[in-house]
């Protein structure tokens, strides 16, 4: 039987003090709701996102992430149970189970959802996810008898004795799809907030003789994002976990606390990541590569044995071949660097293809943009590009060709040729002293005046 997902992403998040929907704020380069969706990757049913505040923006981001998602709108935010009923048409006759997650709670683990599914398989009709809170604060309290849930009481409606309970409600719930939708529609709003709470289905289910159980998880999984401080704390949690995972998978980091990773960073074993490296989204580093200090990578692929940096920038579309070198103060964008090729310093390579074994001298620039269009440069294998060469794209430089230092290349260079494209040097005897004398006199006159 399939397990479906309802992801709530309708709230305004007023405490974020932002014009953006709360779920679009990012952790590790990905929207909050993307992390929540990742928890449900193994689910084999339909996935429904309930949008509301800034719904068009949330819908756009969701479909860019996964075009199979279904987005439904909760025009008025009347509580979690009301939000769940927005998915009724999509899940009508869907069968199976449905789990409800929150778009602003990014760290629920797939293993936790598996534990909830196991409780369902063991006979529970409704399964709620709880956690023991170090500081229960304003969380809803879970009134239990063993692992049986009697009811959930919201903090605003709780007595002092109930507020002393430390077992708190995460809000995550799983049940048979028809049960979840039917009970959500049956909830009332006779409470302090006047909202329709999904937590009320615990009491409604028990009144029908259903088995309602609690599965618990670590409190860190239930971290919800309501403020910028929460967002920063969540970023720190993600980074710490991601670094620990890399170290456990045989990646070397001398100062892991200084390395910033993204949601989808992939790094192979025996890679070396030096201090103060930033990985933006879409980066894959293969085994044995080295990323040296103070480098910034985004949307790129670094093959085995390649060395990047220090102080290098790889932008989207950069593809580095095996054992290639990209050195200090080099920027690569939408370009393929061949196996064993070297771009060692002070260079910009954009919209280009660099052949195997080619050496790019310091200060080289592929002049790829004419103000309207981008143009491509192709350099063959085992070529040598002299320092301070400007290549005015579109250009092709053949295998084993060479450019002289200081050249401006505005014609193709056939294989094996040497291109020299620089003005003839002219020395004017004594002119430097005369010019300096004139300039210093003008400066002195200006200061005196």
Closest C-alpha to 73, from 58, 52, 103? 52
**DSSP letters along 379-444, please?**
E-TT-EE-TT-EEESSEEE-TT-EE-TT-EE-S-B-TT-EE---PPP---TTHHHHHHHHHHHHHH
CA angle 442, 446, 449 (to 5 degrees): 140
Neighbours of 146 (CB within 10 A): 7
Active-site hit among 82, 260, 345, 375: 345
CB 320 within 8 A of CB 338: no
Q: Residue written as tokens 């929207």?
A: 31
In angstroms, rounded to a whole number, what is the distance separating the alpha carbons of residues 181 and 202? 13
DSSP, collapsed to helix, strand or coil, labels residue 150 as strand
Question: Tokens standing for 227?
Answer: 């403020």
In angstroms, rounded to a whole number, what is the distance separating the alpha carbons of residues 150 and 166? 15
Distance between first and last Cα of the chain: 91
- C-alpha distances (whole Å) from 45 to each of 51, 72, 98 are 19, 16, 8
Cis status, amide bond into 371, omega within 30 of 0: no
How long is the chain?
449
The number of CA neighbours under 13 Å toward the Cβ of 280 is 12
In sequence order, the 6+-apart residues with CB closer than 8 A to the CB of 124 are: 211, 212, 213
384 phi/psi in degrees, rounded to 5: -130, 115
Catalytic annotation present for 345: yes
38 phi/psi in degrees, rounded to 5: -60, -30
Residues marked active site are found at 345
């Amino acid at each position: 039987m399939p397990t479906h997902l309802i992801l709530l992403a309708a709230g305004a998040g007023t405490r974020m003090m932002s014009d953006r929907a709360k779920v679009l704020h990012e952790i590790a380069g990905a929207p909050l709701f993307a992390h929540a969706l990742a928890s449900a990757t193994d689910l084999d049913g339909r996935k429904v996102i309930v949008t509301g505040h800034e719904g068009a923006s949330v819908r756009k981001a969701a479909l860019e992430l996964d075009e199979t998602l279904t987005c439904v709108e909760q025009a008025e935010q009347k509580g979690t149970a009301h939000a769940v009923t927005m998915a009724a048409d999509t899940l009508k006759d869907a069968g199976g189970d449905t789990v409800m997650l929150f778009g602003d709670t990014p760290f629920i683990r797939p293993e936790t959802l598996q534990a909830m599914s196991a409780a369902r398989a063991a006979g529970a009709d409704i399964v709620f996810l709880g956690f023991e809170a170090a500081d229960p604060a304003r969380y809803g309290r879970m009134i239990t008898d063993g692992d049986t849930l009697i009811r959930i009481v919201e903090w605003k409606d709780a007595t002092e004795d109930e507020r002393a309970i430390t077992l708190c409600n995460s809000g995550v719930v799983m049940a048979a799809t028809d049960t979840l939708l039917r009970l959500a529609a049956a909830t009332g709003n006779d409470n302090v907030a006047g909202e329709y709470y999904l937590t009320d289905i615990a009491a409604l289910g028990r009144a029908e003789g259903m088995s309602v159980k609690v599965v618990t998880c670590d409190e860190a999984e239930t971290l919800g994002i309501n403020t910028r401080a929460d967002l920063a704390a969540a970023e720190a949690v993600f980074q710490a976990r991601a670094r620990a995972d890399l170290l456990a998978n045989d990646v070397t980091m001398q100062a892991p606390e200084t390395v910033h990773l993204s949601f989808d960073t992939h790094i192979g074993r025996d890679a070396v990541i030096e201090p103060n490296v930033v990985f933006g989204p879409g980066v894959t580093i293969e085994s044995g590569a080295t990323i040296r200090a103070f480098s910034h990578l985004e949307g790129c692929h670094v093959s085995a044995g390649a060395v990047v940096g220090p102080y290098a920038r790889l932008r989207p579309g950069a593809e580095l071949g095996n054992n290639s070198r990209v050195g200090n103060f080099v920027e690569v964008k939408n370009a393929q660097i061949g196996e064993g090729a070297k771009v060692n310093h002070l260079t910009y390579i954009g919209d280009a293809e660099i052949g195997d074994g080619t050496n790019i001298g310091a200060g080289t620039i592929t002049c790829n943009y004419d103000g309207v269009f981008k143009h491509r440069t192709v350099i063959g294998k085992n070529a040598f590009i002299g320092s301070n060469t400007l290549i005015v794209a579109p250009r092709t430089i053949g295998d084993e060709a060479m450019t002289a230092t200081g050249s401006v290349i505005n014609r193709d260079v056939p294989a094996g040729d040497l291109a020299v494209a620089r003005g003839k040097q002219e020395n004017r005897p004594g002119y430097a002293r005369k010019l300096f004398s004139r300039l210093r006199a003008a400066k002195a006159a200006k200061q005196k005046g």
